[in-house]
Amino acid sequence: MKLIYSPTSPYARKVRILIHEKGLDVEEIATVPFDDDAVLHSANPLGKVPALLVGDSAIYDSPVICEYLDSLDKPWLPNGETAWRQKTLHALGDGMIDAVLTFRMERIRPQEQWWDFWAMRQENATVRALQHLETIVDELGEPWEFGNLAIACALGYVDFRAADMQWRDHMPKLAEWFESFEQRKSFIETAPPT
């Protein structure tokens, strides 16, 4: 198997952490999606990372890749009703990443092109998600669970791309919960370059 990824992608980071934590044999191929890499486009016509090459097939979209890889060895994603809770938490983490990414893309454009309404909407979504996580942190459990993988990568992405939010000052229980992830070797080794 081969994983096409970008070192700054929090979606790819989820997959890379899962690979590291499960000890899976996957070759990692770094790319820059904005460079219109032919290898990436042949694996994912959308030109998005991550993409997982399995033989002659490609699997893309990070939740799909995570579910596939998770199924290969002692799944973190449970069966039955509890799976929906874990998938919902995973979606919450991905939604936070989406909001931070959208906000960042809005703000790196020339200022005269900023759409303040849209940027504020993304920032508010991120804050609401953080507040929600602070209220349910006792229900999240320990690393690693399927939903927590996305939540941890989302929090890391807020730190990376929206550090001025200083979310830890306002969400002490969530910050304490997150500390256990930050110390994991897989989390450290997959950190985006500074």
Contact predicate 98/154, CB 8 Å:
no
Contact predicate 133/167, CB 8 Å:
no
- Rounded to whole angstroms, the Cα distance separating 157 from 112 reads 26
DSSP track, 134-171: HHHGGGS-SS--HHHHHHHHHHHHHHHH-GGG-HHHH-
Omega of the bond prior to 45 within 30 degrees of 0, cis? Answer: no
pLDDT in tens, 91-150: 999 999 999 999 998 888 888 988 889 999 999 999 999 999 999 999 998 778 999 999
Go through the domains of the chain in sequence order and give each one's CATH number. 2-71 (3.40.30.10), 81-189 (1.20.1050.10)
Question: What is the per-residue pLDDT for 87?
Answer: 96
pLDDT in tens, 88-107: 999 999 999 999 999 998 88
- Rounded to whole angstroms, the Cα distance separating 27 from 5 reads 11
The mean pLDDT value of the chain amounts to 94
**What tokens were used for 26?**
């996957």
28: three-class secondary structure by DSSP:
strand
36 — alpha (psi -120 to 50), left (phi > 0) or beta? left
Section 11-19 average pLDDT: 98
Going by pLDDT thresholds of 50, 70 and 90, the confidence category of residue 53 is very high
